[in-house]
Amino acid sequence: MTFLCSSRCRFVQLQPLRCLALLLMWSSCFVVAASSAEQVAELSLEMPAGELLFVVNDIYSDSLQQQRNTLTSQRQQRAEFCFRQAREACEAGDVAAALRGATRAVFFNPDHEAARRVLGYRRVGDHWAGAYAARRIETGEVWHPQFGWIAAEDVSRYEAGERRSGNRWISAEEDARRHATIDNAWQIRTDHFRVVTNHDREDASRLAIRLEVLYQLWRQLFGGFYLEPSQLLKRFEGNESSGYRSKPFHVVYHQSREEYNMALRRLQPRIDITLGIYFDTTRTSHFFAGPDQDPGTIYHEAVHQLFQESGRSARDVAKHRNAWILEGVACYFESLQAHQDPSTGPFYTLGTPEAGRLPAARHRRLVDDYYVPLAELSALGMTDLQQRDDLPRLYSQSAGLATFLIDGRQGQYRPALVKLLQLIYTGHDRPTSLQELTGQDFADLDRQYQEFIAKLPSPSAEGQAE
């Protein structure tokens, strides 16, 4: 089955993210991190919707030294506090919260050894690297942002415009000519992804790093989907984990929209209406370079891939039911926004009311009174869904519903959502699984969703909602 996620969110966002409010809240996190768990809970109640997450610096990022420079004893204490919280979360069975806590610990102290171990890193020289990156470093290679992994001794010749071809050196132009087609493409490998491209190594390296960031964020919300608390607890107790996939997520990055269309039309006749696609049959995502590229679509399709390939998945998942939630969760990640704070570095938000399809979901539900009740929606399989005339509106509704299940009611339904996704991906779900897992009738969930969406702040944007 193909995830034909053709519907692009065309809602015009005129209002920039309210960075100030988020930054204020973020600075409150500092205070909270040093105080008590009760205050952390109190703080999260203040947030109408959305997640604020961090990622850890590693070999693929360049600001590790800057972070080390800002290390103070206060930050060390906060790191310890976050790490204790992480362990408690793991003992309580909440893998995602444990990974969030360990990530925060590393955010405060980039050299927090135990938190690094929990997240799958080890120290190699002056770097923190996942197990795959560590192996490459140990064989004398370096990660170069323009070229990916190359031998340390080759760096100066690469930077001077030469390229290695076996035992010979050739020009950059000749190298590009030899990699002009996808069949002879370059490969950029990171700990979790292999990006194959005939476009440009530097751009493909940036894409691979964006996908690594997505992976870090995804596991802080859905780590419990693929990782048992007992497995993670072993890492807290000192066990090293391999920390990387022997089979990376496979991504093809085409040089242009036209090449993408041509290469994939045979597999998907309606490829022209897509902005990226994931095939679970070949376990490959395809994206293209150029002005039509849509970051939200990249996250959307990659999230399909992360869920499909992180555990043992059935064939044709959601073929007969529950297709909406697979799309809804992927649409939720379209709301991913990166932010930069000058003093402390990058942070990320997801599911904020003005991002992704949430404004459209709100508009449809509250202004247009468009809503397909969950009882009806859950009975739709993937083909049913894709044949609907109201597909774009169903996508925005599904995004809204997924946001409600992730963030609504202080995350009350998030464990049920993770379980539902596990059932769907292993082929053990039923049309009524959501009711059974949440302990709520569909009609009650319909009503709670309306209340949730009505309480979201109204974005000032004007535009055509999808």
User: Which amino acid is it at 281?
Assistant: T
Nearest CA among 51, 438, 382, 85 for reference residue 219: 51
Question: Does residue 5 interact with Zn ion by CB under 5 A?
Answer: yes
Phi, psi angles (nearest 5°) of residue 104? -65, -40
Tell the smallest beta-carbon distance from residue 219 to Zn ion (Å).
Answer: 19
DSSP 367: I
Q: Which residue's Cβ has the minimum distance to Zn ion?
A: 5
Tell the smallest beta-carbon distance from residue 116 to Zn ion (Å).
Answer: 33
* Structure tokens that stand for 457 in this block: 């702040």
Q: Contacts with Zn ion in 328-367 (CB under 5 A)?
A: 330
Question: Does residue 3 interact with Zn ion by CB under 5 A?
Answer: yes
Q: Which is nearer to Zn ion, 334 or 429 (CB)?
A: 334
Question: Does residue 277 interact with Zn ion by CB under 5 A?
Answer: no
Q: Which is nearer to Zn ion, 280 or 327 (CB)?
A: 327
Q: Which is nearer to Zn ion, 81 or 288 (CB)?
A: 288
Q: Which is nearer to Zn ion, 327 or 354 (CB)?
A: 327
Tell the smallest beta-carbon distance from residue 378 to Zn ion (Å).
Answer: 17
Tell the smallest beta-carbon distance from residue 5 to Zn ion (Å).
Answer: 3
Q: Which is nearer to Zn ion, 3 or 147 (CB)?
A: 3
Tell the smallest beta-carbon distance from residue 327 to Zn ion (Å).
Answer: 5
Nearest CA among 352, 389, 348, 397 for reference residue 370: 397
* Structure tokens that stand for 94 in this block: 């909440």
Binding-site string for Zn ion from residue 293 to residue 332, where x marks contact by CB under 5 A and - marks none: ----------------------------------x--x--
Which pairing describes strands 51-53 and 249-254: parallel, antiparallel, or unpaired? unpaired
First-last CA distance in the chain: 25
In three-state secondary structure terms, 84 is helix
Distance CA 70, CA 398 (A): 42
User: Which amino acid is it at 92?
Assistant: A
CA distances from 85 to 34, 82, 102 (A): 11, 5, 8
Which pairing describes strands 249-254 and 193-197: parallel, antiparallel, or unpaired? parallel
Residues that bind Zn ion (rule: CB under 5 A) add up to a total of 4
Q: Which span sits near Zn ion by CB under 5 A: 2-10, 230-238, 354-362, 379-387?
A: 2-10
Q: Which is nearer to Zn ion, 233 or 267 (CB)?
A: 267
Q: Which span sits near Zn ion by CB under 5 A: 1-9, 344-352, 356-364, 423-431?
A: 1-9
Residue ranges of the alpha helices (H) in 126-227? 131-138, 155-159, 172-178, 201-226
**Residue ranges in contact with Zn ion by CB under 5 A:** 3, 5, 327, 330
